[in-house]
A and B are shown apart, each in its own frame.
Chain A
Amino acid sequence: MTRAVVTGIGIASPTGLGPTAYWRATLQGEAAIKPITRFDSANYWAKIAGEVPGFEAGRHLQGRLLPQTDHMTRLTLVGTDWALRGAGVQPNDIPDTDIAVITAATAGGYEFGQRELQKLWLQGPEYVSAYQSFAWFYAVNTGQISIRHGTRGPGAVVVSEQAGGIDSIGHARRQLRKGVQLALTGGMDSSLCPWAWVAHQASGRLSRNNNPKRAYLPFDRDAAGYVAGEGGAIMVVETPESAAGRPGTRIYGEIVGYASTFDSKMPSREPGLKRAAELALRDAGMDASEIDVVFADAAGIPELDKAEADAIKAIFGPYGVPVTAPKTMTGRLFAGGGSLDVASAILSIYWSAIPPTINVENLVPEYELDLVMNEARHGKIKAALVLGRGKGGYNSAMVVREYR
């Protein structure tokens, strides 16, 4: 079976830009959830978010791209540049038809869309941007990456709410098995504008606590919702043979297992997260005892936290595996969250350290979780399981392992 290794990681996170800055901040447990600055939150009950600081699109992208792109597309394009640079891929290294682009989306270029909707309804149809037709739709990031880097292989976009970041990488691995050499994959998301914010509030899942330290507390007895954030990760995933074609290419780790499942609407049926994890382990040909850390979905909503704790306990036993949720530092990043967690898991393996979960003080004892709290835990990590869930019933699981 074709193998899939990670050779480039482009990160834009509230805790840092690029894998080095991100990893340093993440191991230190840096808190990046703060009062919203991107729009005036005075008239909204939720007032905090994880914003990517210090991102100046104009420093990285040509001027002509700015009027035609939403913020989330700019993050995606810059993240992709970094991932390719990290992987040492030069133009013409790989035939353009052997490169796939597979991204995840949740809501498209929403801030761009709000601006154009406002123009349409306030000023009239002639004021709407000629770029609206593609700047808002869910396929935009894959299309723009392909054009920017001249990739002419398969392109796809998956939408499965917050499980999508994992699903995109799973689908990218499928493309490698079908014959492409390299895939640019993952998700970067941003929907920090008023029109998106009222939708986030309407999801019923945002925390009503506006104290950044007390708002998003997965597995805590005070868990009461999550905080929204922006950012994510785009990765270079390729076959080992492709990586070997560029001597000196660093291989961070390998994607060895993936599965996705869906929750029934019937309450009598067990939620699908455990099954997704088991299927991903089976796909990897690995036993639960070989997993050194679980990157949890960490919904921050009591019934979802319990369901995830139950699944982890059923597979690994009580306190059977270290569990962590670095997303407590950034908030939940929607299409970007799952791919950033996969990137973190890969970096854990590469740097032999588990980043901490922050802010959780009163872990629910019945969950019987070995949650890595406050301080990073150092030591050899050979394999990690990453879990992700999306509103509506989506469950995804991915197993990553050191490359050998």
Chain B
Amino acid sequence: MSRRAVITGVGVVAPGGIGTKAYWKLLSEGRTATRTITHFDASPYRSRMAGEADFDPVREGLTPQEIRRLDRAAQFAVVAGREAMSDSGIEFDQLDPGRIGVSLGTAVGCTTSLEREFIVGSDRGKYWEVDQSYAVPHLYDYFTPSSMATELAWTVGAEGPVSVVSTGCTSGLDSVGYAAELIMEGSADVVVTGGTEAPLSPITVVCFDVIRASSTRNDDPTTACRPFDKTRDGLVLGEGCAIIVLEELEHARARGAHIYGEIGGFASRCNAYHMTGLHPEGIEMSDAINIALKQARADATDVGYINAHGSGTKQNDLHETAAFKRSLGAHAFKTPVSGFKSMIGHSLGAIGSLEIVGSLLAFEQDLIPPTANLHEPDPECDLDYTPLVAREKKVNTVLTVGSGFGGFQSAMVLKKVEGAGR
């Protein structure tokens, strides 16, 4: 008998508010939470905006040692993890810990802590031979991001398979896809998964500046990220985290759990094209979509909503629009598409999970969040991108996609599960 992976708990840290409720309020109202960077003085940089989370670790219940030990991205994961655990209703300490796994996505790990410590150890770059006497005790944990999955595993008491999945900007989708594979193959009954990212430090901002991928609409930060709009001029960085409790279907049913939906299918593809460029035909993303649909035993015409990557770059808009048409044919034109990065920015390895959670909430509420800031549609992007205002629609199947540096293309099909009321 085949095992199926369903979502029974979610937790969120996002720009615009902490917690799933605040996140849904922002998305459903089509408001934006991008702003001028306040985390550090961004005035020397080309792009000076981001989707920042107003996150106070003390208020969120972290202890002084957790705050000292954990990079901001790990703090997000613990806080969102706790919300997801509580939302799932699972008594984690009653489960066999060996049957609990963790799969956490992140693109750049603890970069913020590493840069902060580099500045001290090198005395602002003066010394190539970084001074060992300034090394902080948890420097090695920042060095390798598996330390973040460790923290989440401790939070939930996991003793099954635990890993970080780090495939750049598709990490947040790929980590959940990996988690679903662990459940389907029988390696775990519950996997706490998702993605976390707190990349807002100068080195990350500069990475996108130097390749001119980020927006320079610095005088209008709240509307700077404009996917599918002809005035778009690049992505706006963001930070955040979404943690998802994935559970084997019968395990969830046996305890009468509320089921948000099922991971029907997932696929990833390398495009073998360019580390940062995208081919406008979108063949590999389309391949990933086709495989994910096939796994989900869904037809293209079943897709009721497409959650786009929507990063706000022209090459991405053309790439994924082509991929949607290639896979869904005429149905692509009848399917609402929207992009959350217009509201919360691009939180790299976290965004895929934030998009999954937003899509699940769209199931719950029969409401499709819009693409914000889409006033002047690009004529080359000729699908229905749900501009500005959320749309009421009952949806049973969602397609969500991601695309990232390294050539990674991922697609996931989320399905409603019948008889899964709260």
A residues with a Cβ closer than 8 A to B are 39-40, 43-45, 68, 96-97, 101, 105-108, 110, 114, 116-126, 128-134, 137-140, 142-144, 146-147, 149-161, 164, 167, 171, 174, 177-178, 191, 194-204, 259-265, 269, 272, 275, 390-394
Which residue of A39, A128, A265, A392 contacts B146 across the interface (Cβ within 8 Å)?
A392
Q: Which 5 A-B pairs have the closest CB atoms?
A: A143-B406, A122-B125, A121-B125, A392-B150, A146-B270
In the complex, are the beta carbons of A260 and B268 less than 8 A apart?
A: no
Which residue of A137, A269, A391 contacts B405 across the interface (Cβ within 8 Å)?
A137
Number of interface residues of B (CB under 8 A): 84
Across the interface, name the chain B residue whose C-beta is closest to A201.
Answer: B132
* Contact indicator per residue, chain B 200-212, by CB within 8 Å of chain A (1) or not (0): 0011001111110
Complex interface: stretch among B20-28, B156-164, B334-342, B385-393:
B156-164
Q: Contacts A40-B129, A124-B44, A269-B159 known; A155 to B407 CB distance under 8 Å?
A: yes
Asked if B333 is at the interface of the complex by the 8 Å CB criterion, the answer is no
In the complex, are the beta carbons of A125 and B202 less than 8 A apart?
A: yes
In the complex, are the beta carbons of A154 and B267 less than 8 A apart?
A: yes
Quick one: which of B109-148 are within 8 Å of A by CB? Answer: 109, 115, 118-119, 121-122, 124-126, 128-132, 135-147
A262: chain B residues at CB < 8 Å are 101-102, 153, 158-162
Min CB distance B262 to A, Å, is: 18
In the complex, are the beta carbons of B139 and A198 less than 8 A apart?
A: yes
4 new A-B contacts, CB < 8 A, other than A137-B166, A155-B268, A159-B109, are A121-B125, A146-B407, A262-B153, A393-B162
- What total of A-B pairs shows CB separation below 8 Å? 265
A118 CA to B136 CA, complexed, in Å:
19
A198 CA to B46 CA, complexed, in Å:
32
Complex interface: stretch among B59-67, B273-281, B316-324, B376-384:
B273-281
In the complex, are the beta carbons of B125 and A137 less than 8 A apart?
A: no
Across the interface, name the chain A residue whose C-beta is closest to B115.
Answer: A117
In the complex, are the beta carbons of B146 and A160 less than 8 A apart?
A: yes
In the complex, are the beta carbons of A143 and B162 less than 8 A apart?
A: no
Min CB distance A55 to B, Å, is: 22
Q: Contacts A198-B132, A261-B159 known; A118 to B211 CB distance under 8 Å?
A: no
In the complex, are the beta carbons of B144 and A146 less than 8 A apart?
A: no
A155: chain B residues at CB < 8 Å are 167, 268-270, 406-408
Asked if B264 is at the interface of the complex by the 8 Å CB criterion, the answer is no
Min CB distance B202 to A, Å, is: 6
In the complex, are the beta carbons of A146 and B167 less than 8 A apart?
A: no
In the complex, are the beta carbons of B275 and A134 less than 8 A apart?
A: yes
A131 CA to B276 CA, complexed, in Å:
9
In the complex, are the beta carbons of A128 and B210 less than 8 A apart?
A: yes
In the complex, are the beta carbons of A202 and B140 less than 8 A apart?
A: yes
Q: Contacts A133-B208, A137-B108, A199-B135 known; A97 to B269 CB distance under 8 Å?
A: yes
A195 CA to B115 CA, complexed, in Å:
11
In the complex, are the beta carbons of B206 and A132 less than 8 A apart?
A: yes
A124 CA to B157 CA, complexed, in Å:
44
Which residue of A39, A105, A107, A390 contacts B129 across the interface (Cβ within 8 Å)?
A39
Min CB distance B47 to A, Å, is: 11
In the complex, are the beta carbons of A125 and B142 less than 8 A apart?
A: no
In the complex, are the beta carbons of A261 and B128 less than 8 A apart?
A: no
A118 CA to B125 CA, complexed, in Å:
4
In the complex, are the beta carbons of A125 and B45 less than 8 A apart?
A: yes
A179 CA to B126 CA, complexed, in Å:
52
In the complex, are the beta carbons of B211 and A143 less than 8 A apart?
A: no
A149 CA to B203 CA, complexed, in Å:
30
In the complex, are the beta carbons of A198 and B162 less than 8 A apart?
A: no
Across the interface, name the chain B residue whose C-beta is closest to A106.
Answer: B144
A259: chain B residues at CB < 8 Å are 161, 187
In the complex, are the beta carbons of B98 and A275 less than 8 A apart?
A: yes
A302 CA to B283 CA, complexed, in Å:
53
A sample of 28 cross-chain residue pairs with beta-carbon separation below 8 angstroms, ordered by A number, consists of A68-B275, A105-B166, A118-B122, A118-B125, A119-B125, A134-B275, A137-B405, A139-B107, A139-B168, A139-B408, A146-B407, A151-B272, A152-B270, A156-B165, A156-B178, A159-B145, A194-B128, A195-B122, A197-B132, A198-B132, A200-B140, A203-B143, A259-B187, A260-B161, A262-B102, A264-B157, A392-B150, A393-B150
B404: chain A residues at CB < 8 Å are 139
Across the interface, name the chain B residue whose C-beta is closest to A97.
Answer: B287
In the complex, are the beta carbons of A146 and B272 less than 8 A apart?
A: yes
A129 CA to B206 CA, complexed, in Å:
9
B146: chain A residues at CB < 8 Å are 106, 159-161, 164, 390-392, 394
Across the interface, name the chain B residue whose C-beta is closest to A44.
Answer: B132
Quick one: which of B240-279 are within 8 Å of A by CB? Answer: 267-276
A260 CA to B141 CA, complexed, in Å:
20
A200 CA to B141 CA, complexed, in Å:
10
In the complex, are the beta carbons of A158 and B163 less than 8 A apart?
A: yes
Asked if B181 is at the interface of the complex by the 8 Å CB criterion, the answer is yes
A68: chain B residues at CB < 8 Å are 275
In the complex, are the beta carbons of B407 and A132 less than 8 A apart?
A: no
Min CB distance A349 to B, Å, is: 26
Min CB distance A61 to B, Å, is: 15
Across the interface, name the chain B residue whose C-beta is closest to A191.
Answer: B143
A153: chain B residues at CB < 8 Å are 269-270
A391: chain B residues at CB < 8 Å are 140, 144, 146-147
In the complex, are the beta carbons of A120 and B129 less than 8 A apart?
A: no
Which residue of A114, A138, A149, A197 contacts B145 across the interface (Cβ within 8 Å)?
A138
Asked if B6 is at the interface of the complex by the 8 Å CB criterion, the answer is no
